[in-house]
Amino acid sequence: MKTSIAFDIEVVSENALLLSWQQTISAVQHSDIIALQTQLNAQLTELIIESVASYHCLMIYYDFLKINTDELITKIHDIASTNSPEKDKLSGDIHSATPLTEQPCISIPVYYDTEQEWDLRAVAQQCGISIEEVIKLHSSSVYRSYALGFTPGFCYLASLPKALTLPRKSTPRTKVPKGAVAIAEQQTAVYPNESPGGWHIIGQTPLAMYRTHNGEFTPAITVGKNVQFYAISKAQFLAMKQSEKL
Amino acid sequence: MNKNFLEILSINGKASIQDLGRLSAQHLGFSVSGAADEYAFRYANKLITDYQKTITGSMVQHQKNCAVLEVTLGQISLRANVDCIIAITGADCQVQLSNASMNKTPIANWQCYQLTRGDIIDFSMPKNGLHSYIAVQGGFSCQENKQAFLASFAQTENEMLLGLMGEKLTVGSQLFFADELLAAESNNTERSLTSAESLKTNSTPKNTNKPELFYANQELTLRFIANKLFLQLSAEKQQQFLSTRYTVSPDSNRMGYRLLPKNYTTEILPECLRAASNLSKPVTFGTIQLPANNQPIVLMKERQTMGGYPVLGTVIQTDLFRLSQMRPGQEIKFSEISYQQAQQQLKAFYQKF
């Protein structure tokens, strides 16, 4: 019988609970987190206003006028410890035969910054490896999407190969371009729009990071997916960018 | 074409459309956003609801939490393109009403008014406070076709690039509001109250006489729900945090308030506890972050959804509405409160409206 990985519940505000797991970046733990998130959203629909998952936490916003906080905490623990068939299906990553890394993958084309407009050369120097190695390391790993945050559609991906680990830039840029592909610490991400940014930019993608249809917002990368980057040429980048506009 | 709008004739500070924000889109990375001072926001809508009650004898549900214009540090001029009912609350901008004959009348804050087509209202820079709110009967939308985006009309500065929250407000901007309501009303009722003066006597909410009493006079005490990390600090460090007086930094804005310790203080967080709280996690309205420089940040409405700084706890919402009207240089201190008491405060607050 599978028991869920242990977590803490803290009452953070009048209307929010913070569920915390071990402070680490772990695909298995994270699968558990988003499985629980799915269960809570399904079973407590009238009470839950919003839920936000991150690497090791889940914030639950609820209507505190509709339910006593202690009661809600009890309900959450009950749901988490229930080992129902539905739960097995939803946390397919853990129980199914398919290992995490063989799940379907979102592929992101990257025109790597070989013309050195951004940080690729500096990253290579600081990591003590060649530019080609940076590109190879970044594009050969399969990342997991852990959280959406910072700006709409910005998705935190981890974990970078250790050889690429660098702290954030000491001076963030006031403006990074739309589609900038960047790295910092153990993470990589794509900036969905022009914005300030403190991560090292190693390339750009022509791919839109979200779609908006009928007033809905759909990110290209949602939480709990596998993501991989692949190199494209400048010509391909420009061509893809052109067709994105159509 | 919708003729129901207020037009911005001049603007020198900041203004945006706000309501209660996008409460259910944080999981997509959207800032909740919304009116910084919910007390003044709700009060403005209630003034209009109460006015509707006196006219029609019944409560009109949809005037609750309608989108308003949030103006920061006044300095804005608006002209009514049609007759409309508005309410003004928040920081006192010594508003002047000019009619077609250019007669200027000062109009009081925290009141409801009927504007005639062509009327101009002028907001000066307030002597105290930051944000003023203008509600309109029917509520504002931020673009002519009146579509909310993800259930809100709130304009979030860093998200305007999406192109889905209307235009950034500037000279010439037309602030549209619903037209169905006005049409229905003119058919049903006789509008006997037309002057600003007569509306004033009928629209003051019965149970609140001095709305300004909600706010702090001098120093503001921010009551916060301490978290596990704060409770792990030594009694000495906890006491240090609670007895320090902070001033509001000029680097404060709708995203968060930065607080500067008035006197030199030593590190509140020991290095081991600081290192143990590095991974980005969800934050909320009122989260108290403590960066390594010992200058706490209290997150406000336009915060991002994730944060990587250590957190000490969360300020209660009613005190955040008070904080939103504080200016750089004003003083703050913190005190602990239980979450149960915080919930009681917020519940009682909602019941006022």
Does A50 sit within 8 Å of B29, measured CB to CB? no
- Among B22, B339, B341, the strongest candidate for a mutation testing the A interface, having the largest count of A CBs within 10 A, is B339
DSSP states of B61-111 as a string?
A: GGGTT--EEEEES--EEEEESS-EEEEEEES----EEE-TT--EEE--SSE
- Among A12, A54, A154, the strongest candidate for a mutation testing the B interface, having the largest count of B CBs within 10 A, is A12
Chain B residues with CB inside 8 Å of A193's CB? 161-162
Does B279 sit within 8 Å of A54, measured CB to CB? yes
Chain A residues with CB inside 8 Å of B151's CB? none
Does B29 sit within 8 Å of A11, measured CB to CB? no
Asked whether residue B60 carries a pLDDT value surpassing 60, the answer given is no
Q: Which of B310, B158, B160, B288 is nearest to B223 (CA)?
A: B288
| Residue located via tokens 């967080």 | B269
**From the CA of A14, how many Å to the nearest CA of chain B?**
5
Size of the A and B interface in Cβ pairs below 8 Å: 131
pLDDT in tens, A9-32: 999 999 999 999 999 999 999 999
- Say if residues A215 and A233 touch (Cβ distance below 8 Å): no
pLDDT in tens, B134-158: 999 999 987 776 789 999 999 999 9
Q: What is the pLDDT of residue B274?
A: 83
Asked whether residue A94 carries a pLDDT value surpassing 50, the answer given is no
Nearest-angstrom CA–CA distance, B22 and B15: 18
Chain B residues with CB inside 8 Å of A195's CB? 158, 161
A57-62/A16-20 β-pairing: antiparallel
Q: What ipTM did this prediction achieve?
A: 0.91
Radius of gyration in angstroms for the set of CA atoms belonging to chain A, rounded to a whole number: 20
**From the CA of A189, how many Å to the nearest CA of chain B?**
13
Residue B270: which residues within 8 A CB-CB, separation 6 or more?
B233, B237
Does B284 sit within 8 Å of A152, measured CB to CB? no
In this prediction, residues A112-122 reach a mean pLDDT of 92
Chain B residues with CB inside 8 Å of A8's CB? 228
Structure confidence at residue A116 as a pLDDT band (50, 70, 90): confident
Chain A residues with CB inside 8 Å of B149's CB? 215
Structure confidence at residue B194 as a pLDDT band (50, 70, 90): very low
Does A217 sit within 8 Å of B280, measured CB to CB? no
Structure confidence at residue B59 as a pLDDT band (50, 70, 90): low
Which residues, in sequence order, are bridge partners of residue A210? A219
Asked whether residue A158 carries a pLDDT value surpassing 90, the answer given is yes
Which residues, in sequence order, are bridge partners of residue A57? A20
Closest CA in chain A for residue B227: A12
Does A13 sit within 8 Å of B225, measured CB to CB? yes
Does A156 sit within 8 Å of B280, measured CB to CB? yes
Q: Which of B277, B280, B285, B293 is nearest to B230 (CA)?
A: B277
Specify the pTM. 0.91
- Among B23, B24, B26, B27, the strongest candidate for a mutation testing the A interface, having the largest count of A CBs within 10 A, is B27
Does A152 sit within 8 Å of B30, measured CB to CB? yes
Side-chain half-sphere exposure of B102, counting CA atoms within 13 A:
0
Tokens (6 digits) for A169: 């830039």
In this prediction, residues B332-352 reach a mean pLDDT of 97
Does B350 sit within 8 Å of A215, measured CB to CB? no
Does A64 sit within 8 Å of B147, measured CB to CB? no
In this prediction, residues B25-39 reach a mean pLDDT of 97
- Looking at residue A136, its amino acid is K
Tokens (6 digits) for A183: 């790295």
E strand intervals along chain B: 5-11, 14-18, 68-72, 76-80, 84-90, 96-98, 104-106, 111-115, 120-123, 131-136, 174-176, 220-226, 246-248, 256-261, 281-282, 287-289, 297-299, 306-307, 311-315, 331-336
By CB neighbour count within 10 A (0-12 exposed, 13-18 middle, 19+ buried), where does B273 fall?
A: middle
- Among A9, A13, A218, A221, the strongest candidate for a mutation testing the B interface, having the largest count of B CBs within 10 A, is A13
Asked whether residue B83 carries a pLDDT value surpassing 60, the answer given is yes
Asked whether residue B211 carries a pLDDT value surpassing 60, the answer given is yes
Asked whether residue B311 carries a pLDDT value surpassing 50, the answer given is yes
Asked whether residue B207 carries a pLDDT value surpassing 50, the answer given is no
Average pLDDT of chain B to the nearest whole number: 89
In this prediction, residues A183-190 reach a mean pLDDT of 96
Nearest-CB residue to A52 (from B276, B279, B282): B282
**From the CA of A222, how many Å to the nearest CA of chain B?**
8
Sign of the torsion formed by the C-alpha atoms of A53, A57, A63 and A67: positive
B246-248/B331-336 β-pairing: antiparallel
Asked whether residue B213 carries a pLDDT value surpassing 90, the answer given is yes
- Looking at residue B55, its amino acid is I
Q: What is the pLDDT of residue B303?
A: 96
In this prediction, residues B307-327 reach a mean pLDDT of 96
Tokens (6 digits) for B314: 């969360």
- Say if residues A183 and A141 touch (Cβ distance below 8 Å): no
In this prediction, residues B72-96 reach a mean pLDDT of 97
**From the CA of B285, how many Å to the nearest CA of chain A?**
8
Does A195 sit within 8 Å of B28, measured CB to CB? no
Instruction: Name the phi and psi angles at B117, rounded to 5.
Output: -50, 130
**Portion of chain B with pLDDT greater than 70, in percent:** 89
Structure confidence at residue A213 as a pLDDT band (50, 70, 90): confident
Chain B residues with CB inside 8 Å of A18's CB? 281-282
**From the CA of A124, how many Å to the nearest CA of chain B?**
25
Asked whether residue A229 carries a pLDDT value surpassing 50, the answer given is yes
Structure confidence at residue A4 as a pLDDT band (50, 70, 90): low
Nearest-angstrom CA–CA distance, B130 and B314: 22
- Looking at residue B271, its amino acid is E
Closest CA in chain B for residue A219: B28
Structure confidence at residue A86 as a pLDDT band (50, 70, 90): very low
Q: What is the pLDDT of residue B54?
A: 82
Does B350 sit within 8 Å of A217, measured CB to CB? no
Closest CA in chain B for residue A151: B29
In this prediction, residues A120-129 reach a mean pLDDT of 96
Sheet (strand B84-90) strand order: B14-18, B68-72, B131-136, B84-90, B111-115
